[in-house]
Every structure is written in structure tokens, then in C-alpha cells.
Structure 1
Amino acid sequence: MDAVASAFAAHPREGFLPPAERGRAAYDGPLVIGHGQTNSQPRTVAAMLRLLDVRPGQRVLDVGAGSGWTTALLAHLTGPEGRVLGVELEPDLVEFGSANLARTGQAWASIRQAEPGVLGLPAAAPYDRILVSAEPRTLPDELVEQLGEEAVMVIPVAGEMLRVTTPGPSVTRHGGYRFVPLR
């Protein structure tokens, strides 16, 4: 079993969904978690995590943490020697995602309230990896600047999944995807 499959097995999607959606956890599509947000399609999350190539001990930023599922998966991949910081704009989802994440026992991961008008968490940068689970119209320089040396960001931009690497940055394209808008 590869690292991403191991993370999925350790942190089933069901535990990160509202009670009304838990029966649909196996559905390979986005599920509503409230406030106009979704828990992403499992196949898409797996593809993004494989593109991100998270390693043990890395510092990771999870933009659009929502239900906390991707934050938990990332924490599994970094292990306790790593650090995962999730940011979420919607206060109710910060609370929901934090409660879900707390049940995983991964104390090296947390979800914080995003500051309106600020992308990511620049005060804690640089990051080895950045995962973005919402879609901007253009690649945000503000997030690229939070990447460390030899870092990777995976982000859907204008309907296309991008893998951004440093130094450079260098951008590769990895197919069409739809996400909620990045605000």
C-alpha cells in the first residue's frame, strides 16, 4: 500500500462529514459540508496528494481545510516529525474541521481561521508543500511566495490542476478539475 492509500485507510472520509452526509462517504464525488463548501471527491484528493508528494517531517500548508479531512491526510503523510497548518475562512468550518482533526490524535496538525483578504498563512512560511482545495482564476503570487526552496504546491487554477515547484517557479498541468472558488 502506498503512502496516500495508507493515509486514506487511516482517516476514512466518513469521520469528516456532517451526520446527514456520512452515509454517502463512499460516493466518489464532492459532498456538501455547509457554508457553500464541499468535501472534495476522494479520487481528486488522492490525485492531488500524489502530485504533492508529501514526505515525513515536512511543513505543509492546507489552504481551504474545510472539514479537516485533507489536513488529517496530510498529517498522516508528514508523521509526527512534520507540521501541518490548515487555514479556513468560514468560522463554523474552522470549528467543525478542528473537532474532526482532534479526533485523529495528530497533535502536529491544526486548523486556523484564515484572515480575510490574506491567502495562506504568510507569517508561518516558508512551507515545503502547499495544498489548495479551492480554485482561483489565476495562480496567486501570494501563495507561490510562501513556498520554500525545493517546494511543491498543488492548486486548481481556472479549471486546471497545476503543480508548482521551486526554484523557478516551474508549473506543470495535470488535467481539468472543478472546485469551489478561492475567496
Structure 2
Amino acid sequence: MDPVLDAFSAVPREGFLPPGERGFARFDEPLPISHGQTNSQPRTVADMLHLLDVTPGDTVLDVGSGSGWTTALLAHLTGPEGSVVGVELEPDLVEFGRRNLAATGQAWSRIEQAEPGVLGWPREAAYDRILVSAEAEAMPSELVAQLAAPGRMVLPVAGLMTLVERSATGKTRLSEHGWYRFVPLRPS
């Protein structure tokens, strides 16, 4: 079975949407969650998770955790032997995401308030996998520095979905995987 599709079945999108949007959860489109942010289109999330290739036991950073849905999906993929930390800039969304995530009972995952001027969550680096659900104008070196060797990071850069692969020796390889639209990535 496809682990990403299994995660989608185990972690329904409805529980991560504001009440007025829950009736649209099955639509394959981004849905508003507040502060100009969205719960990403399911097909886009699936594409990103397939590229990220999370395995049980991985340590994962989720940048731009929003409603907590991607954090919960990642936690399902890592299982309790792994760990996931989501980072979100908007305080209201941090609280919304924390409540939603807590309802899944995945104690090996959490959402933190982004630190002023800091991208990611460097205090617990390095991460086996990093998912970024906001568009960078250029490759953010701060996040690349938080990636383990070996490791994988998936993020949109200037509209292109980009996979960053770091080998065990620390060598980095980039590949592009189609055009996508996201809210802009910005440090707090």
C-alpha cells in the first residue's frame, strides 16, 4: 500500500479546517484557514509527501504547519518511533494547529511558535526530512543547514517544487518537479 494514501485515510482533512470550510474538505483545492493562509490542496500535499519519502523513525521538520494537517500526516508516516516538529509564524494558527494535532493522539508530534528572525527550528537540527509549505524566492540556506546527511527537503522555490537531497557525505543535489503556487515563506 502507498504510505501517503494510508496517511490521508488515517488523518482526515476535515479535522484541520475551520467549521465553515469542513464541508469542502473533499474538494481538491486549497481552503482558507485565516490570516491569508490556506490548508493546501490535497493533491499538492500528496505530491510533496511522495517526494519527501518519509520513513518510520524519521525526524521531520514541518515549516509552515498552518492548521496542523501536514504535521499530523508526517507524524502518521514517521510513526511513534519518529518525531515531528511543526513551526508556524501566526500565533492564532499555532493554537489552532496544536488543538487539531492534539486530537490525533500522536504524542511524537508538536507545533511550535516560530522564533523571531529564524527560519525552521535549528535547536533540534539536523532533520532527516524537511517539508516547507510556503514559497521561497531562493533556496533558504538556513533550512538547508538544518538538513541531515543523508536527508531530503521538499519546498517550492520561485514557483518550482524543489527536492533537495543531501547524501551521507553532505553533497547536495537539487531537482525540480513542476510549478506550484504557495503563500510566501518569510522569517518571523
Asked if Structure 1 and Structure 2 have the same fold, meaning a TM-score greater than 0.5 normalized by the shorter chain, the answer is yes
SS at match of 2:163: strand
**How far, CA to CA, are the matches of 2:116 and 2:22 in structure 1?**
30
Match in the other structure for 2:176: 173
Matched, 1:145 2:145: yes
Q: Distance in 2 between matches of 1:169 and 1:114?
A: 26
Normalised TM-score (structure 2): 0.96
What's the counterpart of residue 75 of structure 1?
A: 75
Superposition deviation, residue 138 in structure 1: 0.3
Aligned residue in 2 for 1:121: 121
TM-superposed deviation, 1:137: 0.3
Partner Cα separation in structure 2 for residue 115 and residue 149 of structure 1:
25
What is the CA–CA distance in structure 2 between the aligned matches of 1:41 and 1:116, rounded to whole Å? Answer: 28
Question: What is the alpha-carbon root mean square deviation over aligned residues?
Answer: 0.5
Deviation at 1:169, TM superposition (A): 1.3
Q: Mark the runs of 5 or more structure 1 residues left unpaired by the alignment.
A: none
TM alignment of 1:1-183, pairs within 5 A: 1-166=1-166, 167-183=170-186
SS of 2:104's partner is: coil
- Distance (whole Å) between structure 2 residues aligned to residue 23 and residue 168 of structure 1: 45
Q: Which amino acid aligns with 1:59?
A: T
Query: Aligned to 2:51, what secondary structure does the other structure show?
Result: helix
Partners of 2:116 and 2:181 lie apart in 1 by 23
For residues 90-141 of structure 1, the C-alpha deviation after alignment (integer angstroms, 9 at most, x for no partner) is 0000000000000000000000000121100011100000000000100100
Secondary structure of the corresponding residue to residue 74 of structure 2: helix
Q: For residues 168 and 159 of structure 1, what CA distance do their matches in structure 2 show?
A: 24
State the 4+ residue runs in structure 1 displaced beyond 6 angstroms.
none
Residue correspondences, number: 183
CA distance in 2, matches of 1:158, 1:91: 26
Deviation of the 1:164 alpha carbon:
0.1
Q: Percent identity?
A: 70
Instruction: After superposition, give the CA deviation of every residue in 1:124-172 in whole Å (9 maximum; x if it has no partner).
Output: 1000000000001001000000001110000001000000011321100
The Cα offsets for residues 77-99 of structure 1, whole Å up to 9 and x where unpaired, read as 00000000000000000000000
SS at match of 1:152: strand
Decide which moves more: 96-105 or 160-169: 160-169
Distance 1:141 1:169 in 2: 12
